[in-house]
Amino acid sequence: MTLNEKKIGFLGAGKMASAIIKGLLKSGIAPENISAGERWAPAAEAARKEFGIYVTDDNADVVQRSDILLIAVKPKDIEDALSTAGDTDNKLFISIAAGVTIETLEKMVGIKPRVIRVMPNICATVLQSATGISRGTNATDEDAALAMEIFSAVGVAMETPESLLNAVTGLSGSGPAYVFQIIEAMADGGVFAGLDRKTAQTLAAQTVLGAAAMVIETGQHPGELKDMVCSPGGTTIEGVAVLEHKAVRAAFMDAVIASAEKSEQLGKKK
């Protein structure tokens, strides 16, 4: 069966779930094939109004009507969500909770559970997520293919061993926040130099988008592309020198590593 023939349920309808739902709908999945369990009334009502999907506060209801369940609650709330899920036999569970291991999820789901652990990012909202996917002990090739199809519908998805999923969390899971700070800082610099705020922000965002596209489309090392922009004694190398003096590269490396380590700590708490 293709994804269009599957019923997809969400345990949780917060920001990340909403991003994925929005992406799925944009990719052509029918609203009647999506449901969500959400206990917080404002979030439930927001999902109901924005997406036109079935939303309830009864997780067991969502599980019963779904073939695929996306666990989209906070890590600390997973056990509670699954304890109210009812009969989970013959269901595929896909978790987007940071740090919660496949072993932990399999113990929570039940007998011979089919589990896939995923780390997407918020850019799923605009169909540009960068997602890592790790299959569990009993997950089939078809299960993995369905997970890939879901997250390919909202961006780029790559299968990776679970041992590297914390690294994915630190890099692409948390990464949009780092890039948003870059865009904000570049725009601030443009404003300081005399540009109006709207122009500066648009130019900064498009510059980041264009640079990312060059890395992906050319396949060249970012260092090579950087050298293409840096003329001898020119304006760009002057700016690059400032970034090097401020240890910006080291700071971003440290941010990714710190986020990955935090993801690992969250997993150990379960």
pLDDT number for residue 125: 84
Residues 6+ apart with CB under 8 A from 207: 186
Chain segment 107-147, per-residue pLDDT in tens: 998 778 899 999 999 998 888 999 999 999 999 999 999 99
Taking CA 227 as the corner, what is the angle to CA 222 and CA 231, rounded to the nearest 5 degrees?
155
Q: What are the structural domain ranges in the chain?
A: 3-163, 175-267
Q: Please state the pTM of the whole predicted model.
A: 0.86
pLDDT number for residue 70: 97
What does DSSP assign to residue 162? G
Please give the residue that has the higher pLDDT: either 18 or 87. 18
Please, are residues 180 and 209 in contact by the beta-carbon 8 Å criterion? no
What is the CA 131 to chain-centroid distance, rounded?
Answer: 6
Q: What is the mean pLDDT of residues 43-51?
A: 95
**Burial environment of residue 67 by CB neighbours within 10 A (0 to 12, 13 to 18, 19 or more):** middle
Please, are residues 17 and 24 in contact by the beta-carbon 8 Å criterion? no
Rounded Cα distance, 202 and 132, in Å: 29
Q: What is the mean pLDDT of residues 194-214?
A: 98
pLDDT band at 269 (very low <50, low <70, confident <90, very high): low
Side-chain-side CA neighbours of residue 169 (13 Å): 25
pLDDT number for residue 270: 53
pLDDT number for residue 97: 87
pLDDT band at 6 (very low <50, low <70, confident <90, very high): very high
Among left, alpha and beta (phi > 0; psi -120 to 50; other), residue 28 is left
**Tell me, which fold does domain 175-267 have in CATH?**
ProC C-terminal domain-like fold (1.10.3730)
First-to-last CA distance in the chain? Answer: 34
| Same fold: 3-163 with 175-267 | no
Q: Contacts by 37-43 with C-beta closer than 8 Å and gap 24+?
A: 37/9, 37/10, 37/11, 37/12, 37/13, 37/61, 37/62, 37/81, 38/10, 38/12, 38/13, 38/14, 43/13, 43/14
Top mean-pLDDT range of 18-22, 26-30, 211-215, 260-264: 211-215
Percent of the chain with pLDDT strictly greater than 70: 99
Q: What is the mean pLDDT of residues 51-59?
A: 96
Chain segment 223-248, per-residue pLDDT in tens: 999 999 999 999 999 999 999 999 99
Please, are residues 92 and 67 in contact by the beta-carbon 8 Å criterion? yes
Rounded Cα distance, 127 and 148, in Å: 14
- Decide if domain 3-163 falls under CATH 3.40.50.720: yes
Three-state DSSP class for residue 115: strand
Q: What is the mean pLDDT of residues 18-42?
A: 92
Tell me what the pLDDT averaged over the chain comes to. Answer: 93
Chain segment 57-116, per-residue pLDDT in tens: 999 999 999 999 999 998 889 988 888 888 888 899 999 988 889 999 999 987 788 999
